């Protein structure tokens, strides 16, 4: 593709392509979360012990982090469309295995590869930023990230409802079919994007530590989002335990419907992108961090199974998801404004760091809920965004 054609695509990324990329990211990233509400069903079905059941989710997360560090950086080296399609085919094979196998070891291996292949979504996000002009990059990234966030938020209730109406393997079979169709569509319609870098893969990986050391904005934005994503993961790990417990007595269907509430928060992603395009990244970041803190404060102040208490749970879920969604887009918009030749590596580092924060939030949240109940989990949950806000106050204008 010559320079003039490339410039034309960058300045005129069509709406349908933005929608396609957003949809693709949502479909792909949902695979990371389908198994979370089904751990009990899956473990009993394949003969996995109760003590090992947590590996179903853990290995998917490990696979994702490995992919972020070793596959996503390839977006700076190899043709992006080919990399995405290959990752999707790997994901579809792993999904078919999870839907068909009764072997615990084979299922766990497939779970690892589901996470590994699902990093295709994080190749597509910087790819979208390449197609956008500098003046519209925040809006485009925000729109694409809306799709990704919707995939995260819809995945848990969707898998719960599908398992309730059919069986747990059904959601993996449906997703495998969707991923295969998606790979075929993307291979046909995505513009080619071949990086100009001629470095080796080894040099590419070794450069990531250098980038982390020498890119302050990457470290800062990663720490901000690791903190708020830790609260996000803590909340969505523990709130089903609260709702199914003796206070609320919610059924699985009711919990699934409650999880849908968070979808409203995804609207903050494109709004944050537009604010960033106007140069308001700093102010928007402070608002996003404040929304996360307020969402937890409301839950600490009002705890009951009354209509008021349930309303607070709903409002807090929307505020939390909106704050996290906005902060994610603001962070990616900031690092994507750096050199385009290192954008995939920066995105891989950014995602890996904040994903670690999410894993920490889930682990600590589960422990805190078992030890001290909902209040203990919330007190720990509010510490993360407070740390992020204090660090934010040290940011120079």
How far apart CA 10 and CA 362 sit, in angstroms, is 39
Q: What is the largest CA-CA distance in the chain?
A: 64
168 and 251: one domain?
no
Q: Which tokens hold the place of 277? A: 């395009």
* Digit-coded pLDDT (tens) for 135-166: 777 778 778 878 888 898 889 889 888 988 88
Structure token pair of residue 213: 């050391």
Residues constituting the chain: 397
Residue 100 CB coordination number (10 Å): 15
CATH number, domain at 259? 1.20.1250.20
From the list 190, 201, 37, the residue with the least C-alpha distance to 120 is: 190
CA 86, 88, 91, 97 torsion-angle sign: negative
Co-location of 250 and 172 in the same domain: no
Range of the domain at 313: 207-397
Same domain for 389 and 360, yes or no, is yes
Tell me: do 191 and 307 sit in the same domain: no
Q: What is the DSSP track for 318-346?
A: HHHHHHHHHHHHHHHHHHHTS-GGGHHHH
Per-residue pLDDT at 69: 87
pLDDT at 7: 44
Residue 189: pLDDT band (50, 70, 90) is very high
Under DSSP, the state recorded for 245 is: S
| 366 burial via Cβ count (<10 Å: 0-12, 13-18, 19+) | middle
CA angle centred on 117, ends 349 and 323, rounded to 5°: 50
6 pLDDT more than 70: no
Buried b (16+ CB within 10 A) or exposed e, 341-358: ebbbbbbbbbbbbbbbbb
In this structure, the answer to whether residues 281 and 386 fall within a common structural domain is: yes
In the chain, helix, strand, coil percent, each to 5? 85, 0, 15
Domain boundary among 198, 223, 240: 198
| Residues 291, 229, 204, 30, CA torsion sign | negative
Q: Which of 144, 178, 198 is the last residue of a domain?
A: 198
Q: How confident is the model at residue 389 (pLDDT cuts 50, 70, 90)?
A: very high
Is residue 164 domain-shared with residue 259, that is, in the same domain? no
Structure tokens at 181: 């169709």
Q: What is the DSSP letter of 78?
A: S
Give residue 114's pLDDT: 96
Same domain, 239 and 182: no
For residue 51, pLDDT beyond 70 = no
Q: Which whole-number Å values give the CA distances from 25 to 34, 99, 235, 304, in the listed order?
A: 15, 22, 23, 37
Residue for token digits 């790819």?
Answer: 127
258 shares its domain with 137: no
- Tell whether 189 and 156 lie within a shared domain: yes
- Residue 248: Cβ within 10 Å count: 17
Of the ranges 87-96, 128-137, 143-152, 252-261, the best mean pLDDT one: 87-96
Nearest in space to 70 (alpha carbons), one of 100, 9, 3, 115 = 115
What total number of domains does the chain contain?
Answer: 2
Based on the fold, state whether residues 191 and 211 are members of the same structural domain.
no
Task: Among 149, 175, 198, identify where a domain stops.
Answer: 198
What whole-number distance in Å separates Cα of residue 373 and Cα of residue 361? 15
Q: What's residue 10's pLDDT?
A: 42
Q: Assess whether 185 and 217 both reside in one domain.
A: no
| Beta carbons within 8 Å of 155's beta carbon, 6+ residues apart | 29, 30, 31, 32, 33, 34
What does pTM read for this prediction? 0.80
Residue 315 predicted with pLDDT over 90: yes
Residue with tokens 């089903």: 240
> At residue 14, does pLDDT exceed 80?
yes
Residue 1, pLDDT > 70, answer no
The answer, yes or no, to whether residue 33 has pLDDT greater than 70, is yes
The per-residue b/e assignment along 313-335, b for 16 or more CB within 10 angstroms, e otherwise, is bebbbbbbbbbbbbbbbbbbbbb
Q: Which residues of 378-393 are buried (b: 16+ CB within 10 A; e: fewer)?
A: bebbbebbebbbeebe
Residues 288 and 192 placed together within one structural domain of the fold: no
């Amino acid at each position: 593709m010559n320079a003039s054609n490339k410039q034309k695509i960058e300045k005129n990324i069509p709406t349908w392509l933005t929608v396609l990329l957003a949809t693709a990211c949502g479909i792909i990233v949902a695979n990371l979360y389908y198994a979370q509400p089904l751990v009990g069903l899956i473990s009993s079905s394949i003969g996995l012990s109760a003590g090992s059941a947590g590996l179903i989710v853990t290995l998917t997360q490990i696979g994702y982090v490995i992919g972020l560090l070793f596959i996503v950086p390839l977006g700076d080296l190899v043709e992006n469309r080919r990399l995405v399609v290959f990752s999707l085919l790997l994901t579809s094979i792993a999904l078919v295995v999870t839907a068909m196998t009764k072997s615990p070891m084979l299922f766990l291996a497939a779970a690892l590869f589901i996470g590994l292949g699902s990093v295709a979504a994080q190749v597509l996000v910087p790819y979208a930023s390449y197609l956008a002009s500098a003046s519209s990059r925040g809006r485009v990234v925000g729109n694409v990230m809306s799709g990704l966030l919707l995939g995260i938020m819809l995945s848990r209730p969707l898998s719960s409802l599908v398992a309730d109406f059919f069986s747990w393997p059904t959601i993996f079979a449906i997703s495998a079919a969707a991923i295969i169709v998606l790979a075929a569509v993307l291979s046909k319609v995505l513009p080619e994007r071949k990086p100009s870098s001629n470095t080796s893969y080894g040099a590419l990986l070794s450069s990531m530590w250098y980038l982390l050391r020498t890119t302050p904005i990457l470290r800062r934005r990663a720490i901000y989002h690791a903190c708020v994503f830790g609260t996000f993961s803590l909340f969505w790990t523990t709130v089903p335990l609260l709702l199914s417990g003796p206070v609320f007595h919610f059924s699985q269907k009711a919990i699934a419907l409650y999880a849908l509430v968070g979808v409203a928060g995804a609207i903050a992603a494109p709004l944050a992108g537009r604010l960033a395009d106007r140069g308001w990244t700093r102010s928007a970041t402070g608002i996003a961090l404040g929304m996360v803190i307020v969402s937890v404060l409301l839950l600490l102040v009002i705890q009951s199974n009354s209509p008021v208490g349930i309303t607070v749970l709903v409002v807090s879920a929307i505020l939390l998801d909106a704050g996290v969604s906005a902060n994610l887009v603001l962070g990616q918009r900031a690092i994507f404004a750096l050199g385009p030749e290192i954008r995939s590596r920066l995105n891989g580092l950014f995602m890996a760091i904040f994903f670690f924060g999410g894993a920490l939030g889930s682990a600590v949240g589960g422990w805190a809920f078992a030890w001290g109940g909902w209040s203990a989990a919330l007190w720990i949950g509010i510490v993360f965004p407070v740390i992020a806000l204090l660090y934010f106050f040290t940011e120079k204008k």
